[in-house]
């Protein structure tokens, strides 16, 4: 027993020595060996649901790992092109395989669409794929109001297509088991889509009806982003007045504080200072958990 | 009947002595580990994955027991030459085969039942970490008895696999019996492809041959409702009854085959 313990300790030390002298690569490139859902269905034999779980965990690891890599210190969150390769490239294939293996995997459709629609650097910024994934779910469960709500939501929040969003919310309201507030959400979207208050109402409904913590956290983050947009609306005229009165560009908050325009450095609801952009506009810092803020919904962006 | 019962009890005792039920320890570790760790990895899907993992482990562990014990039920007696002692007693050969089969199925029933209790315990543990109003929205509540439909059909599938292993063990070596049984188990999960073979081949003969195999080979995918119960989707009683009836019929065919071969076998 003592010999086994001693040899095991020796093995661990040797491994550590080897790692120190010849460090293994920090990251290995992720690869998807099997890309055909049909082949995977066959290979998983009687364990399709379990295989779907494995692919779901891989999708989360890929999404989280890529985000962590992009947001890590020394990694400027710039454009997808600046990353050298296409980040999040495996996200959709992984979610597609997950839902092929387990067509009733609700979380894979719903969270997957959230992941896919999130703009870079928080996600791949592919609302089209988010909608495709949800439509795949609807093909399996045509009466699922949650998928319809999510499609409407992608149109609303990322495409700013309030007509399409309202139409999907109305369709969801007609589905069996849809909550009572779905109809009013449809009406509000069609009447005043793009209005920040209607966005807030929508997110509050989602936060209250969320059945999973991630979904609720996502909605709460969006509500805080709306708070940040409100705060930016207050700061913007202050910066503009400073520029107008002094004739100097507003480069940082210290300059404004010295001139008495503000009392200190304004911070967003997460405590990270806001940033004044070179063109004088104000945004949350890239280090903020709220970055990137959604594009301010505008009716002008609506598609027919 | 009493003789079959006695042989069955002996098979169960022997499997306990052979530490077959130690797999329950592995199952317990797997489930406890899953219940604890999965929450960190799965964005709130730990409950669903715990059920998938529990049902998958029941099926997989049961498969290994059914195959590796099943292939030795008869061949071990022949190898050890204890078959001579057994057959010199007032025991019919069919009683020996049936007793062995019932004993192993009983071992599997005990095994799977304990695993099912363990699965429900972990489901309750995971659900206990969430507010009750949250749990109320889940498709499968922690006391959902629909899970038992999947467990029951896993048992029927394992009983079919045991019968296959026993059938081969009456005339083949343990290694070949294991290979044949695994091959049939895999083929049994490809039955839908065999049925639809005419859509991928031009030859009518090949299509007919595949269709023939579809009818003859055990259709084990019939017993797989894990994907439905984990989402709380309905599994009709009529479907379960037909699947059980199919399983029992197939088992009867295999046991009659095993008894016939074993009765004619010459041990000189």
pLDDT tens for each residue of A122-175: 889 999 999 999 999 999 999 999 999 999 989 988 888 888 998 999 999 999
Q: Which pLDDT does position B66 carry in this prediction?
A: 92
Residues of chain A with Cβ-Cβ distance to B231 below 8 Å are 104-106
Nearest Cβ partner of A214 from B44, B60, B190? B44
The least confident of A109-118, A293-302, B96-105 is: A293-302
Whether B145 and chain A come into contact, CB under 8 Å, resolves to no
Q: Indicate if the pLDDT at residue A299 is higher than 50.
A: no
What average pLDDT does the segment A94-121 reach? Answer: 92
Tokens of residue A205, six digits: 């409904």
Residues 48-67 of A with CB under 8 A from B: 48-50, 52-53, 56-57, 60-61
B224 chain-A contacts, CB cut-off 8 A: 46
How far is the alpha carbon of A223 from chain B, nearest alpha carbon, in Å? 20
pLDDT tens per residue, range A44-53: 888 999 999 9
In chain B, which residue's Cα lies nearest the Cα of A60? Answer: B42
Q: What angle do CA A201, A203, A204 make, to 5 degrees?
A: 65
Report d(CA A146, CA B259) in Å as an integer. Answer: 56
Interchain proximity B43–A212, CB inside 8 Å: yes
Residue A73 — very low, low, confident or very high, per pLDDT cuts 50/70/90? low
Identify the residue among B43, B50, B138 best suited for mutation to test binding to A, counting A beta carbons within 10 A and taking the highest: B43
Give the model's pLDDT for residue A301: 39
Q: What is the pLDDT of residues A244-278, one digit of tens each?
A: 888 888 888 988 888 888 888 899 999 999 999 88
Model pTM?
0.78
pLDDT of A95 reads: 95
What confidence tier does A303 reach under pLDDT thresholds 50, 70, 90?
Answer: very low
pLDDT at B268: 67
pLDDT band at A298 (very low <50, low <70, confident <90, very high): very low
CA distance B203 to chain A (A): 23
Is residue A28 over pLDDT 70?
A: no
Confidence bin at A302 (pLDDT 50/70/90): very low
Nearest-Cα distance to chain A for B93, in Å, is 35
**Do the strands A282-283 and A275-276 form a parallel or antiparallel pair, or are they unpaired?**
antiparallel
The interface pTM score, or ipTM, of the predicted complex is 0.83
Q: Residue A267 forms beta bridges with which residues?
A: A273
How far apart are the CA of A61 and the nearest CA of chain B, in angstroms?
8
Q: How many CA atoms lie within 13 A of B130 on its CB side?
A: 21
Set of chain A residues whose Cβ sits within 8 Å of the Cβ of B48: 53, 105, 107
* pLDDT tens per residue across span A169-211: 999 999 998 888 888 788 878 776 777 877 788 788 778 777 6
When computed from its CA atoms, the radius of gyration of chain A, rounded to whole angstroms, is: 24
pLDDT over threshold 60, residue A284: yes
The one-character DSSP state at A263 is S
Give the other-Cβ count within 10 Å of B190's Cβ.
17
Categorize the per-residue pLDDT at A75 as very low, low, confident or very high, splitting at 50, 70 and 90. low
- Residues B149 and B229: beta-carbon distance below 8 Å: yes
Q: Could you say which residues of chain B have pLDDT below 70?
A: 35-36, 39-40, 43-44, 268
Q: In the predicted model, what is the mean pLDDT of chain A?
A: 84
Nearest CA in chain A to B136: A211
């Amino acid at each position: 027993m003592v010999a086994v313990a001693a040899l095991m300790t020796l093995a661990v030390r040797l491994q550590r020595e080897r790692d120190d002298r010849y460090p293994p690569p920090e990251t290995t490139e992720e690869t998807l060996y099997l890309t055909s859902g049909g082949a995977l269905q066959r290979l998983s034999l009687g364990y399709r649901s379990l295989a779907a779980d494995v692919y779901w965990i891989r999708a989360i690891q890929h999404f989280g790992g890529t985000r962590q890599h992009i947001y890590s210190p020394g990694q400027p969150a710039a454009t997808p092109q600046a990353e050298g390769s296409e980040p999040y490239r495996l996200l959709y294939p992984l979610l597609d395989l997950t839902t092929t293996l387990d067509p009733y995997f609700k979380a894979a459709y719903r969270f997957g669409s959230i992941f896919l629609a999130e703009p870079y650097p928080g996600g791949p910024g592919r609302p089209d794929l988010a909608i495709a994934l949800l439509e795949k779910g609807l093909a399996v469960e045509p009466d699922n109001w949650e998928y319809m709500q999510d499609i409407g939501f992608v149109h609303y929040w990322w495409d700013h297509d309030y007509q399409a969003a309202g139409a999907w919310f109305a369709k969801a309201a007609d589905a069996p088991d849809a909550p009572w507030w779905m109809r009013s959400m449809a009406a509000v979207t069609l009447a005043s889509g793009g209005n920040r208050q209607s966005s807030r109402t929508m997110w509050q409904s989602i936060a209250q009806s969320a059945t999973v913590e991630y979904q609720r956290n996502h909605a709460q983050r969006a509500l805080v982003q709306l708070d940040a947009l409100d705060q930016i609306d207050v700061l913007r005229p202050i910066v503009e007045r400073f520029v107008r009165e002094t004739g100097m560009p507003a480069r940082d908050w210290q300059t404004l504080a010295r001139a008495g325009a503000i009392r200190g450095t304004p911070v967003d609801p997460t405590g990270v200072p806001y940033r004044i952009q070179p063109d004088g506009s104000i945004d949350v810092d890239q280090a903020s958990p709220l970055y990137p803020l959604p594009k301010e919904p505008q009716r002008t962006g609506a598609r027919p | 009947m009493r003789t079959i019962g006695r042989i069955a009890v002996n098979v169960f005792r022997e499997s306990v002595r052979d530490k077959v039920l130690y797999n329950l320890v592995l199952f317990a570790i797997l489930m406890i580990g899953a219940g604890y760790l999965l929450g960190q990895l799965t964005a709130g899907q730990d409950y669903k994955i715990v059920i998938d993992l529990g049902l998958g482990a029941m099926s997989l562990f049961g498969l290994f027991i059914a195959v590796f014990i099943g292939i030795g039920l008869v061949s071990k007696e022949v190898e050890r030459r204890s078959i001579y002692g057994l057959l010199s007693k007032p025991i019919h050969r069919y009683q020996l085969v049936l007793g062995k089969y019932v004993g192993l199925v009983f071992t599997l029933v005990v095994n799977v039942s304990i695993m099912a209790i363990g699965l429900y315990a972990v489901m309750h543990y995971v659900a206990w970490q969430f507010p009750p109003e949250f749990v109320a929205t889940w498709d499968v509540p922690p006391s959902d008895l629909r899970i038992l439909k999947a467990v029951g059909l896993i048992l029927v599938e394992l009983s079919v696999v045991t019968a296959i292993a026993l059938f081969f063990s009456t005339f083949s070596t343990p290694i070949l019996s294991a290979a044949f049984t695994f091959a049939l188990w895999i083929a049994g999960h490809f039955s839908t492809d065999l049925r639809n073979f005419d859509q991928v081949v031009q030859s009518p003969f090949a299509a007919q041959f595949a269709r023939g195999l579809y009818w003859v080979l055990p259709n084990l995918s019939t017993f797989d409702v894990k994907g439905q119960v984990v989402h709380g989707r309905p599994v009709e009683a009529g479907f379960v009854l037909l699947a059980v009836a199919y399983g029992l019929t197939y088992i009867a065919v295999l046991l009659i085959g095993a008894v016939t071969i074993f009765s004619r076998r010459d041990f000189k």
